Amino acid sequence: MLITIAAVVFSLMLIEARRAWRNERAQLARGGIEPPDDVYNTMRVVYPAAFLAMIAETQVGGAPPRGVAFAGIALFGAAKALKWWAILTLGPFWTFRVIVIPGASLVAKGPYRYVRHPNYAAVIGELAAVALMTGARFTGPIVTLVFGLIILRRVAVEEKALSGILAPIHTPAAQPRNR
């Protein structure tokens, strides 16, 4: 089962990386601006390493109970559905990097009607799901917490980059929140 989990997690990650890379090139060609204080370089190492660490723990600690593994599979499916809803809603604006095109409107449809950063919620869901699927009782909570802290920094960078550069939008979920 571990080989299947690794194959699914990393093949989907590669599909997402390819899409992000194409969109990043297009955004930069359209005059997109990338903030200098982004944590992308940290994220691109920690994100796949987190999944590897959880998979490696299973080699030592053993597989989880069947019900826990199935709960992880269900959560992974829900997290991926939310992530792809966000990806498809943003279309060519979805990237791994924070790239903002001056004057573009903030997207306020799809999951963005309800949640300011649905992609990041989905990423936390993916990490928690793989922790359940692999039975990573030790590394799962640690890597999820660490990546959650990185996401908090990323959200701050993203909010700063978006403020004042995009055309204003007037929906409750689209408004920046005090954090």
Domain boundaries, the chain: 2-174
Task: Give me the mean pLDDT over the 31-35 stretch.
Answer: 92
Percent of the chain with pLDDT over 70: 91
Residue 178 has pLDDT above 70, yes or no: no
For domain 2-174, is the CATH number 1.10.1200.30?
A: no
Q: Are 154 and 98 in contact (CB under 8 A)?
A: yes
pLDDT digits (tens, 9 = 90+) for 88-141: 999 999 999 999 998 888 899 999 999 999 999 999 999 999 999 999 999 999
Identify the band that residue 62 occupies on the pLDDT scale cut at 50, 70 and 90: confident
